[in-house]
């Protein structure tokens, strides 16, 4: 049954086989996507026609590699920009949220906490359409009342940032709260006794203690934002993010360029994952 | 910290202002607006009037409510399958494999889920489509005479949905099983319990908080998924989020879309609420 108990041979073997199959199932699509990025063929399919880097580097009429593919490159840039702002905003607000719910007492705290958790159980599509509708309502209001045309309220870059921020902040709040729970309050009390103000204590002591969690939360926020599809789908304007651009290409047929982009994404996210894990290891 | 209890301090204001702005401007008000918009329609003169038509349309048009019911049933099915697939893996990693490998295996398990959902779905498309890798290999091996389209059916769609959200089941399961004391299983074994009774009477009761939190997240993500049903399920996938998308982007009928969105929100909240009630858990405990 478990490792400390005697197990039959067939139980151990069968279980091992199941787990191996599970991992094959897990990695097969990623593996094949990466392999076919290097296949010298016009289609992302077998047979294998030889190794090539052309889907990355080529700039030929019949074959444009990712490094010369302006559509995907500009989408990558947009995604980086969106993810940058989303992770900055959500880390700031999420950290405030962690302090608010862990260190302050106020009326309606439970209700507000519940509200803070809500974005976790609201489907991303619904967040997207409700923010789209609300922005549109506000936009019409400003236009009718003040005769102002506010571009923020139209689908576009900043609306995507706001939409993603609305649920990623919850994740940051939870990650930072978890770390703040482990904080030894006697440190704060000592500093307060020595004459520091509350804000000085937070700045010099508590935030230093929280740094690994905040960096980890920033990385997770960045990744969540970079990969978000459901919420972004409804808020995106003329500047498309990478997942949306890729979706449109995949839906209408595919070329190995998509494999090349996917390969870069897989390598990039794996590296970010490793960085994030090293930081959270240090935290322990 | 007691000072904050009685009066409003500067730190409190610094913390509470951004949080209130976030929750009210981006969560509360947009959802109120969503609800209001769902009760409005355009009348003959182009003005907006209050009406229940958007909701009545939902019940009048069989394709709408059938899609809705279908989405709900498949999302529950996906959640159950995800649990059944994940439990043995989580158990193997925490209890069966030698401790030297369990850290490595759980790391390995997380890797694919850092990668964008789109890339993972795309990988399955390359594998399964008519000109795909699996067909190619089966033809080469002589097991197939002609290629078979393995995409665009419900079984593949459910498999894709399970694949997409598996992580959110495995991780909570691993963390609850880590806290399960091995000696409980040993005692049950010594007293003559078989695998079935140990699983149903010790492991599952202990793992309940993890099962519920994993189940809620998997259910919610599946219900709100758009990519996987759309790309793997194909034209006939009939997922409710696609209906919402069609109303918003294709028909440009935002009020109808708002009504659909609200119905989906009610569906997901209700099922999550029932799940919490049945297992006597609280949302704030489950997300920890």
Domain chopping of chain A, boundaries: 71-253
Q: Specify the pLDDT at position A280.
A: 64
Residue B22 resides in a domain? no
Q: Name the minimum distance, in Å, from the CA of A107 to any CA of chain B.
A: 9
Residues of chain B in contact with residue A112, where contact means CB-CB under 8 angstroms, are: 19-20, 23
What is d(CA A223, CA A225) in angstroms, rounded to the nearest whole number? 5
Q: Name the minimum distance, in Å, from the CA of A76 to any CA of chain B.
A: 13
What is the pTM for the complete model shown? 0.87
What is d(CA B134, CA B129) in angstroms, rounded to the nearest whole number? 8
Best probe of the B interface among A121, A155, A172, A206, by most B CBs < 10 A, is A121
Cβ of B119 and A198 within 8 Å? Answer: no
- Bridge partners of A59? A64
- Asked casually if ipTM beats, i.e. exceeds, 0.90, the reply is no
Residue B30 resides in a domain? no
Q: Specify the pLDDT at position A161.
A: 94
What is d(CA B248, CA B261) in angstroms, rounded to the nearest whole number? 10
Cβ of A129 and B126 within 8 Å? Answer: no
Q: Name the minimum distance, in Å, from the CA of B60 to any CA of chain A.
A: 23
Tell me whether B26 touches chain A (CB under 8 Å): yes
* Residues of chain B with confidence (pLDDT) below 50: 1-5
CATH of segment(s) A71-253: 1.10.3720.10
Residue B245 resides in a domain? yes
In angstroms, the first-to-last Cα distance of chain A is 30
Cβ of A115 and B95 within 8 Å? Answer: no
- Reference B259, options B248, B272, B269, B250; nearest CA is B248
Burial class of residue A270, CB neighbours in 10 A (0-12, 13-18, 19+): middle
Best probe of the A interface among B10, B32, B115, B151, by most A CBs < 10 A, is B115
Q: Name the minimum distance, in Å, from the CA of A231 to any CA of chain B.
A: 10
Q: What is the pLDDT along chain A (284 residues), one digit of tens a residue?
A: 677 777 778 888 888 899 999 999 999 999 998 888 888 877 777 778 778 787 787 777 777 777 878 888 889 999 999 999 999 999 999 999 999 998 888 888 888 998 998 888 888 899 999 999 999 999 888 888 888 777 788 888 999 999 999 999 999 999 899 888 888 888 888 888 888 888 888 888 888 888 888 988 898 899 889 989 989 998 988 888 999 999 988 888 778 888 888 999 888 888 877 777 776 665 44
What is the chain A residue with the closest CA to B165?
A26
3-state secondary structure chain B: CCHHHHCCCHHHHHHHHHHHHHHHHHHHHHHHHHHHHHCEEECCCCCEEECCHHHHHHHHCHHHHHHHHHHHHHHHHHHHHHHHHHHHHHHHHHHHCCHHHHHHHHHHHHHHHHCCHHHHHHHHHHHHCCCCHHHHHHHHCCCCCCCCCCCCCHHHHHHHHHHHHCHHHHHHHHHHHHCCCHHHHHHHHHCCCCHHHHHHHHHHHHHHHHHHHHHHHHHHHHHCCCHHHHHCCHHHCCCHHHHHHHHHHHCCCHHHHHHHHHHHHHHHHHHHHHHHHHHCCCHHHHCC
Q: Specify the pLDDT at position B3.
A: 44
For residue A230, give every residue at least 6 positions away whose Cβ sits within 8 Å of its Cβ, in sequence order, or none: A123, A124, A125, A127, A128, B224, B225, B226, B227, B241
CATH of the domain at B104: 1.10.3720.10
The structural domain count of chain B equals 1
Give chain A's length: 284
What is d(CA A121, CA A167) in angstroms, rounded to the nearest whole number? 10
Question: Which residue of A36, A96, A169 is in closest CB contact with B15?
Answer: A96
Q: Specify the pLDDT at position B284.
A: 67
Cβ of A93 and B186 within 8 Å? Answer: no
Q: Is A51 helix (H, G, I), strand (E, B) or coil?
A: strand
Burial class of residue A144, CB neighbours in 10 A (0-12, 13-18, 19+): exposed
The answer to whether the CB of B72 falls within 8 A of the CB of B272 is no
Residue B121 resides in a domain? yes
Residue A96 token pair: 């405030």
Residue B75 resides in a domain? yes
The residue range of the domain holding B106 is 39-286
Cβ of A93 and B265 within 8 Å? Answer: no
What is d(CA A91, CA A87) in angstroms, rounded to the nearest whole number? 6
């Amino acid at each position: 049954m478990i490792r400390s108990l005697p197990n039959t041979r067939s139980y151990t073997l069968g279980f091992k086989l199941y787990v191996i199959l599970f991992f094959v199932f897990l990695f097969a699509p990623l593996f094949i996507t990466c392999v076919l990025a290097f296949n010298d063929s016009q289609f992302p399919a077998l047979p294998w026609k030889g190794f090539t880097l052309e889907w990355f580097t080529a700039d030929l009429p019949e074959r444009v590699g990712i490094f010369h593919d302006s559509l995907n490159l500009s989408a990558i840039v947009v995604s980086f920009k969106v993810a940058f702002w989303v992770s900055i905003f959500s880390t700031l607000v999420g950290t405030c949220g962690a302090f608010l719910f862990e260190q302050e007492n106020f009326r309606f705290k439970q209700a507000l906490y519940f509200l803070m958790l809500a974005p976790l159980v609201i489907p991303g599509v619904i967040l997207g359409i409700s923010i789209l509708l609300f922005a549109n309502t506000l936009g019409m209001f400003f236009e009718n009342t003040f005769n102002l045309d506010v571009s923020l309220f139209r689908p576009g870059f900043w609306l995507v940032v706001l939409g993603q921020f609305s649920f990623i902040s919850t994740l940051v709040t939870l990650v930072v709260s978890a770390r703040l729970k482990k904080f030894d309050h006697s440190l704060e009390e000592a500093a307060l006794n020595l004459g520091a103000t509350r804000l000085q204590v937070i700045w010099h002591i508590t935030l230093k203690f929280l740094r690994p969690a905040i960096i980890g939360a920033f990385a997770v926020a960045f990744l969540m934002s970079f990969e978000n599809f459901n919420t972004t789908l409804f808020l995106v304007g003329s500047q498309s993010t990478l997942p949306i651009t890729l979706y449109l290409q995949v839906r209408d047929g595919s070329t190995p360029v998509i494999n090349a982009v996917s390969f870069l994404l897989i390598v990039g996210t794996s590296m970010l994952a490793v960085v994030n894990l090293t930081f959270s290891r240090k935290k322990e | 910290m007691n000072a904050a209890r009685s009066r409003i301090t500067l730190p409190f204001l610094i913390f509470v202002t951004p949080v209130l702005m976030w929750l009210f401007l981006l969560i509360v008000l947009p959802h109120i607006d969503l609800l209001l918009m769902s009760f409005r329609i355009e009348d003959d003169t182009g003005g907006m009037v209050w009406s229940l038509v958007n909701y009545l349309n939902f019940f009048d048009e069989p394709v709408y409510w059938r899609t809705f019911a279908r989405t709900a049933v498949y999302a529950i099915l996906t959640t159950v399958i995800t649990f059944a697939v994940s439990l043995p893996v989580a158990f193997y990693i925490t209890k069966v494999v030698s401790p030297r490998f369990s850290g490595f295996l759980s790391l390995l398990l997380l890797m694919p889920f850092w990668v964008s959902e789109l890339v993972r779905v795309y990988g399955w498309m390359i594998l399964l489509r008519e000109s795909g890798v699996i067909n190619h290999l089966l033809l080469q091996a002589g097991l197939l005479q002609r290629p078979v389209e393995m995409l665009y059916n419900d079984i593949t769609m459910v498999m894709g949905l399970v694949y997409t959200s598996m992580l959110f089941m495995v991780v909570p399961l691993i963390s609850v099983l880590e806290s399960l004391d091995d000696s409980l299983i040993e005692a049950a074994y010594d007293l003559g319990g078989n695998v079935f009774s140990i699983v149903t009477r010790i492991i599952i009761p202990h793992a309940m908080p993890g099962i519920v939190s994993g189940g809620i997240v998997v259910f919610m993500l599946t219900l709100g998924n758009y990519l996987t049903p759309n790309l793997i399920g194909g034209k006939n996938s009939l997922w409710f989020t696609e209906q919402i998308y069609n109303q918003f982007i294709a028909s440009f009928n935002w009020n109808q879309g708002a009504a659909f969105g609200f119905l989906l929100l009610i569906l997901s909240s209700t099922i999550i609420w029932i799940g919490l009630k049945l297992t006597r858990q609280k949302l704030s405990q489950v997300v920890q």
